[in-house]
Amino acid sequence: MAHRRSLLGLGFFSLVAAVAVTQACGGTSDGVGPATPSSEAGTGDETGSTDQDAAPPPADAAADGETISDGGSNIDPDAGIGDDAGIDGGPCNTVANTATPVTSTCVSFAPVLGGGTLVAGTYFLTHVAALAPQNFCQTKFVPTGFKETIDLTVAAGVGTAETVTTIGGGATRHRTTTLTPAATDKSPLQAASVCPVGAPASVPYATNLVAGKQELVMRLPYGKGEALYRYEKQ
């Protein structure tokens, strides 16, 4: 799973970031999937727990999926994001991070993400659910703060995500990423960071109207593992 890059950077994934958070604290390196103020971010020195019922179902998620039986990872907010750790791609865009901070949770079930037509607009990151075995979620998981805003434009079905992301007390990151769904808007999409330039990654996703709100969910890196990142159109 290490080949995937978060757009957060998830920025988009950090879409946006299509960036991968490659540094982790605690957990194992076998798992697979970012931003709140530092006061809300977990530290690598404490053991966290989470409510398995805290994470709402992702947009357009099928009833089937997979139970996470191995892996699990935490994020070191001070370690930076992916290959551009310590570098802010500020020139990539001037998007302001006006999203409300959120704190990650941990879940042991990953639903199937069925794709969908990308919808243009400004999105806020509203939920981050790290994927890990139940025992890891209950005994080793350390919540981390995230804050991310995405400006998404769409042309001929292909999205361009301009993202600004903060994880824990770390530095702000700006990134621009193209999101190209598979044929007939099927999952996964190909996320390619164009600023800064990065290799494309295959990203499972789903987008749909939920309670009158357009949502976008992506399965992206989280430390040495993965998480479900949910964004809501404003």
Residue 83 identity (one-letter amino acid) = D
Residue 140 identity (one-letter amino acid) = K
Structural contact between residues 61 and 230, judged by C-beta atoms closer than 8 angstroms: no
Q: Residue 49 and residue 130: Cα distance in Å, rounded? A: 12
pLDDT of 90: 58
pLDDT of 3: 40
Written as tens digits, the pLDDT of the chain (234 aa) is 434 444 444 444 443 333 333 333 333 322 222 332 222 333 233 334 444 444 444 444 445 899 999 989 999 866 544 434 445 555 899 999 999 999 999 999 999 999 999 999 999 999 999 999 999 999 999 999 999 999 999 999 999 999 999 998 888 999 999 999 999 999 999 999 999 998 999 999 999 999 999 999 999 999 999 999 999 999
Residue 32 identity (one-letter amino acid) = V
Positive or negative CA dihedral for 214, 161, 107, 40? Answer: negative
pLDDT of 177: 97
Q: How far is CA 137 from the centre of its chain?
A: 18
Q: Residue 7 and residue 214: Cα distance in Å, rounded? A: 18
Q: Residue 172 and residue 54: Cα distance in Å, rounded? A: 27
pLDDT of 91: 80
Domains of the chain: 38-51+63-233 (2.40.128)
The residue behind tokens 């769904």 is: 181
pLDDT of 225: 95
Query: Which residues in 104-133 are b (16+ Cβ under 10 Å) and which e?
Result: bbbbbebbebbbbebbebbbbbbbbbbbbb
pLDDT of 109: 96
